[in-house]
A = this chain, B = another copy of it.
Amino acid sequence: MSATAPTFLPLYRQIRDLILRSLEAGEWRPGAAIPSELELAARFRVSQGTVRKAIAELAGENLLLRRQGRGTFVATHSELRQQFRFLRIVPDEGAPEPYESRASECRRARASVEAARLLELKPGDGVVCIRRVLRFGGAPIVLEEITLPGSMFKGLSAAKLGKHAGSIYHLYETEFGTPMIRADEKLRAAAADAGAAQALGVVAGTPLLSVERVAFTYGDRPVEWRRGLYRTDKHYYRNVLT
């Protein structure tokens, strides 16, 4: 009952993989333009149409961004429009608001068995643990604990987190060369414990939305494990099913 191996790999998919390899290798940085379609066609000795189809796939996976008349760009978390790509919380009333992040903790630790399993590390490997609160309109709405492989995030500190503007994924990609491209989330309801209640300004036992996430970089390599607790009395988690 093994999965059938692909008996045929179209040319455009091979080109796609070559471009992907260049992205992984950092040949073009996030936000930068990649060569034009005609240049890539010449480089790979294929027609422009084949390159177009390869790029279209990568754009569909949000790894590239096409802009007519300007070029094709490596996806980045630096733009405001990307701010809420991975953060699906929305206020009941009004438009999505900018948030403010306050990291209360950023320490080195040893990977738990669970962290090791999810991040494909060995138990005991070094990790970075971040604890932070996201505030919307001044109010604490999200409490998060983030776990990262220590080896990939060597210089990460509370100071660096505080100094950095924009989303933490922007920090990952600019300071540590690790763009996040996909994430799996598990959502549950949970009662606030004493710590969460205090951080979010609710009474203990209040139902909170628990969002557990593993985020991946190129090659489906897991890089970040986080657990968020969301207040959902004035906000909700938006999802679109298609």
Contacts and interface: CB of A to CB of B under 8 A. Distances in A.
A242 B62 contact: yes
Contact of A184 (B187, B230, B238): B238
Instruction: Report copies per complex.
Output: 2
A207 B185 contact: no
A232 interface: yes
Nearest to A186: B236
Interface residues of A, number: 32
A129 interface: no
Nearest to A63: B242
Nearest to A60: B60
A242 B182 contact: yes
A189 B186 contact: no
A188 B241 contact: no
The 6 closest A-B pairs by CB, nearest first: A188-B232, A189-B207, A207-B207, A187-B237, A189-B189, A186-B236
